Amino acid sequence: MPVVQMVNHENQPVGEVSLSEKVFGRKINRHLLWEAVQSHQASQRRGTACTKTRAEVSGGGVKPWRQKGTGRARAGSNRSPLWRKGGVTFGPKPRDYTWELPKKMRRLAMCTALSAKLVDKEIVVLDELVVEEIKTKKIIQVLKNLKLNGRITMIPGQADDKLRLSGRNIKSLRILNPQNIFTYGLLDCDYLLMTRAAVSYIEESLGQ
């Protein structure tokens, strides 16, 4: 059973946390992680690219010149894809790029991402994270005390508007509620900062 050290806001050890083998001790499946990341990124695409076909561009309707006798190639419309300002053949049209993994695969991917972070020693567990007032400086000070550099994904024990508002101006910080974690959010960071309550919730929801 994996064990990590738990610290407080001052980066002082306050105990140890035993992590669930089902959630944090999974074998690393790189292909599954790749699929989860591809699914997330594909779902973020707006899919608004659009080109006009020969039926949608303006003009046409009149044969440019008679069929025979001019010495030029046959032409039926000046909006043919072969012509300048003509329609586009097989061009992009608005579409939905979303595709989702099955539920069991999504859960396994999140467990695999957590296990990978644990193997790389990129998980930090706080005893608690309480914000009494909206102050970005306090969040920055906590991160400095913990000596965390780079991109950080923070997972508190529960949704906290004061914490969200305090940390939204920090470009390198992403705050996720434990109910809304996703594989890409767990992987796309240098450190994963979780509270003890968040660890318990994740183990209960993913360890089933």
Q: How many CA atoms lie within 13 A of 119 on its CB side?
A: 13
Helix and strand totals (H; E) in the chain: 7, 6
Q: How far apart are CA 93 and CA 116, in angstroms?
A: 39
Is residue 140 assigned to a domain? yes
Q: How far apart are CA 146 and CA 150, in angstroms?
A: 12
Is residue 73 assigned to a domain? no
Is residue 118 assigned to a domain? yes
Is residue 75 assigned to a domain? no
Is residue 62 assigned to a domain? no
Place of tokens 């003009």: 59
Q: How far apart are CA 167 and CA 142, in angstroms?
A: 11
Tell me what pLDDT residue 181 has. 93
Residue-range definition of the domain harbouring residue 125: 3-28+102-206
Tell me what pLDDT residue 2 has. 84
Q: How many CA atoms lie within 13 A of 40 on its CB side?
A: 16
The pLDDT tens digits along the chain (208 residues) read 788 899 988 888 888 899 999 999 999 999 999 999 999 999 999 999 999 999 999 988 899 999 999 999 999 999 999 999 999 999 999 999 999 999 999 999 999 999 999 999 999 999 888 888 898 998 999 999 999 889 999 999 888 888 999 999 999 999 999 999 999 999 999 999 999 999 999 999 887 6
Is residue 166 assigned to a domain? yes
Tell me what pLDDT residue 160 has. 82
Structural domains of the chain, count: 1
Supply the CATH number for residue 128's domain: 3.40.1370.10
Q: How many CA atoms lie within 13 A of 162 on its CB side?
A: 9
Is residue 136 assigned to a domain? yes
Tell me what pLDDT residue 35 has. 96
Is residue 57 assigned to a domain? no
Q: 3-class SS at 72?
A: coil
